[in-house]
Amino acid sequence: MKITVMTADEQIVTLEVDRDESVENLKALLEVETQVTLQRQQLLFNGKEMRNAEKLSALGVNDGDLIMMVSQASSSVSSNDLSLNSDGSAVNPAAFQQQIRSDSNTMAQLFQADPELAQVLLGNDLNKLQDLLRQRHRQKSEMRRQQDEELALHYADPFDVEAQKKIEAAIRQKGIDENWAAAVEHNPEGFARVVMLYVDMEVNGVPLKAFVDSGAQSTIISKSCAERCGLLRLLDQRYKGMAHGVGQLEILGRIHVAPIKIGNIFYPCSFLVLDSPNMDFLFGLDMLRKHQCMIDLKENVLRVGGGEVSVPFLPEKDIPSHYLDEERKLKEVSSSGAQGTPGTRENSGIRTGSNSSGSAPNLPQGVEFEAKVSRLIELGFEREAVIQALKFFDGNEDQAAGYLFGG
């Protein structure tokens, strides 16, 4: 069988040996290849030292396995070379490395207790070794400091107010640390990043990835997405204003109704148009309610129309990375509602505006009703049917449009 031996200076030696060969004979072969005497060789397999009398098969060495070879340190190394500096680094890192390597028991313990340090000691990067030694020194110093503080507080004057405050803080911190440790053991998924819910949809025949957010009051489409979907011509700028949340975004207006396709079924949808370049479409609570949607996290699907359609939520790999940065800002704004600012209508000079619930502009009753009728007629419906639908839904234009599309 063939085995590979890596030396301390990262030299690679490939040997053809018998499965029942002894470790001592293997060292003899390596002496010829590496010029390192048999007595100075130390072979490690899976972190354990290989004894001269042992057979390779008994140690579990198989074809293609890797064996580490380290050279025992020279006896001429001074004790000063093996000492440590005040920051924990070695005075002579090369001598320190060789000394630790030569002690098979210490290496075996390191592989169990600190495999990272053991791997660095077997490597050839002395700067990395020094950095790791300094890090371990800082960790031990911090642990000692905490222990000293706890001991000092234990013997503190019970009538010392400041000492009692520190004891209280130490007890509180201990509880927090224990709670954290319990969470790491029993609820590790709580520390992972939660991926938001996206589904594939089509808006006016254009496929896109919709951010499903039941915490957002309004359904939102970006200006660029509305333009891409051919809907910008339907933008009602009387509803423009500012959406205020933790941050704020400009509301360019409202598109009162457009077809969206979820699964194989079309549904009427209305949405605010925001100047948000990175997030295409946010499916908010208004449309989730309207279309009786259910967020099924057990099956990881969005059910629409009371369950007539089910579409799976997208895995993280299918979500564009720039969406994940923008979704937080949109959620902050949309969850607070759209607070519109007054605007003017050029032709009539009548003041209009929008509010958080998306109600109709502040027009006189007759003008307001007629404006709704005109907008719905522009979508291709008969005047009589439009008037009946508006009366049936008490003048709610969105519900009337949904009824007309559904009919």
Q: 183-193 in b/e burial notation, b at 16+ Cβ within 10 A?
A: eeeeeeeeeee
**Which residues lie across from 344 on neighbouring strands?**
351
**141 within some domain:** no
Of 3, 133, 2, residue with least CA distance to 69: 3
Q: Which domain holds residue 169?
A: 156-192
CA distances from 354 to 360, 370, 374 (A): 7, 18, 19
402: domain CATH number? 1.10.8
Number of domains comprising the chain: 4
**142 within some domain:** no
Are 163 and 206 in the same domain? no
**9 within some domain:** yes
CA 292 centroid distance within chain: 30
Strand order in the sheet with 2-6: 12-16, 2-6, 66-71, 41-45, 48-49
Domain boundary among 85, 114, 131: 131
Are 201 and 188 in the same domain? no
- Residue-by-residue pLDDT tens, the chain, 407 positions: 888 888 877 788 888 888 888 888 888 888 888 878 777 788 888 878 888 888 888 888 888 888 888 876 544 445 565 678 888 888 888 888 888 887 777 788 888 888 888 888 888 888 998 999 999 889 888 888 887 777 777 777 778 888 788 888 888 888 888 888 888 788 877 777 778 899 999 999 999 999 998 888 889 999 999 999 999 999 998 887 776 654 567 889 999 999 999 999 999 999 899 887 667 899 999 999 999 999 999 999 999 988 889 999 998 888 877 666 555 555 555 554 444 443 433 332 223 333 333 333 333 346 678 888 888 887 777 888 888 888 877 788 877 877 776 65
| pTM for this model (two decimals) | 0.44
Are 244 and 119 in the same domain? no
Are 126 and 183 in the same domain? no
Are 264 and 384 in the same domain? no
- The catalytic site residues sit at 213
**150 within some domain:** no
Exposed, middle or buried by CB within 10 Å (0-12, 13-18, 19+), for 305? middle
Are 207 and 112 in the same domain? no
Contact, 118 vs 111, CB < 8 A?
Answer: yes
Are 246 and 176 in the same domain? no
Contact, 209 vs 323, CB < 8 A?
Answer: yes
Exposed, middle or buried by CB within 10 Å (0-12, 13-18, 19+), for 20? exposed
**290 within some domain:** yes
Domain boundary among 172, 192, 212: 192
Are 327 and 208 in the same domain? yes
**177 within some domain:** yes
Are 99 and 228 in the same domain? no
SS3 12: strand
Are 9 and 52 in the same domain? yes
Reading the block at residue 121, the tokens are 């000691």
Are 182 and 259 in the same domain? no
Are 319 and 378 in the same domain? no
**89 within some domain:** yes
Q: 262-289 in b/e burial notation, b at 16+ Cβ within 10 A?
A: bbeeebbbbbbbbebebbbbbbbbbbbe
296: domain CATH number? 2.40.70.10
**350 within some domain:** no
